[in-house]
Structure 1
Amino acid sequence: MSSPEGNVRFFKRLWHLNIQNKIKIFVWKAIHAILPSRHHLASRGVQIDPLCPRCNLSNEHSFHVLWQCPWAKDVWSESALWPMLSRFLGQNFMELWCWTILNGPCDDVGCFAMISWSIWLARNQWVFEGRSMHGREVVSHAGNIWAQFLTSKPVRISNTINEPHLIHWNAPPVGSIKINVDAAVFDDSDFFGVGVIVRDDKGMVLMARAGCLEGVLTPYLAELLAVREGIILAYHLQWTNIIVETDARNVVEYIRHPNALAPEASIIAFIRRLMLQTSGLTITITITFCRSFANKAAHELASFGLRNLVDVDYKDCCPFYLSSFVRSDFTYDL
């Protein structure tokens, strides 16, 4: 691996991460091996034992603290990144950073930075306060810090589960578009269905999609992927005011309060990132919850896609098998 200065694109990735600036600076210092570790301080003339205070097996330099120390390895083994990181054979933190970027999904890089930061905080807690944290605690701490940072950003997510009028489908406000999404899962199938239906403020169908994707998923994860499909569609349609509606209450809550280290964290982060990207434009995307009775049309589309193992898009028309559900929704809305 070349010197840090030669890896411009890897540094660009650092400065564009959706994390606190102080953590970006911390990672930059770790890459350049200038964290105030015992080895670094001793090399600068400070009278201090350079050995790692945890393991006493090696000098405590940046790479040792964050990766080589057996305690640090215990922390990483508790994270969702371990299957990818366990294959790393490099010799410094810059190589570890580049390995993560090249071998992990986009959101793994932010997760890596957060855990590295938490390892350093736990190290300081041990050195200066004599208090120790288990690996799982460190990983959980990293997830909580990142979740708090992400949820502090202005994302419009409305949870309307207590509004009785949403027992039936309601048309969106004048000038708005509503996208209902749902998923269908069969116990004996290796596929799951996704249904998306787009309607205007008069209840007219502008677009519909019956899809089928491969994978044996829990209903929650299937519903989350259905929401992702709706958000992607909303992002590309570029209407001014768009409501994405799902009958999966837990999906709305997890998007509202994400856990950055949960297995589905990358999907939720992708959804939130798309929503944040529209905030600078004249587009507003809102996610809301509705009762399952108000989401029958989207469910029928998802079931159709799964039953027939097809991916079908309908533009400016309503498929025949959906017409009774759309008429029923339109009647209730009136």
Structure 2
Amino acid sequence: MKVDPRCQRCGSSSESINHVLLSCPVARLVWAQIGFPFPPRGFEHRSLLENFDYLLGISTRKEVPGEISRVFPWVVWLEATVNKIQDDCRHWFEVVQAGENSKVGSRNLHLNGNRWRPPSAGKLKCNLGIAWSKGKSLAGTSWIVRDARGEVLMHSRRRAFSGIHSLLEAKHFGLTWAIESMLSHKIVNVCLEIEASELVGVVKRPKAWPAFRA
């Protein structure tokens, strides 16, 4: 397959992962605008392995602020606008914190006697956890799949959603994502458990919940 080997941003004749993400003049401009400290020889004079070793180790440098040292995954992933990178990075850690707070509540419920109930033999159960920040319109959700013996078969990494304006909307996105995940992983014969009576009603008796038809 014939392709143009040049970088489509700067016209360099040697496009590579290292070039596109780190050493291209356009990429270096983004890194500079975000305020990320460059290595002594610059990104352009180091290998991809050396550059990522530098990125992963930057958090150990006390003189680099935390909001700068932890932003590099978003720069690598987006390389769009500096404001977008900073916003996405900030939203992620806010949702992570909200999720940690929700774990405390979950543990307290467990200690009060509301224990997990296993599915029937031969079936699986997927439990969903939802955290929502009203002030920041952010939601975080995760799921875990266990068998009738309580053995964990699979679990998700926490996923973040922005622009969420109600707890019900957060639960809707979380439930939809969990269903899509079950299909993607080909997990069948599974029941989903979530604290959302409205959504459960919509799924089981859609005609009785016409306002939720969409």
- Please give the range of the TM-score, normalised by the shorter of the 2 chains: 0.3 to 0.5
Q: TM-score scaled by structure 2?
A: 0.41
Higher relative contact order (CA 8 A, sep 6+): 1
Return the TM-score normalized by structure 1. 0.27
Point out the structure with max Rg over C-alpha: 1
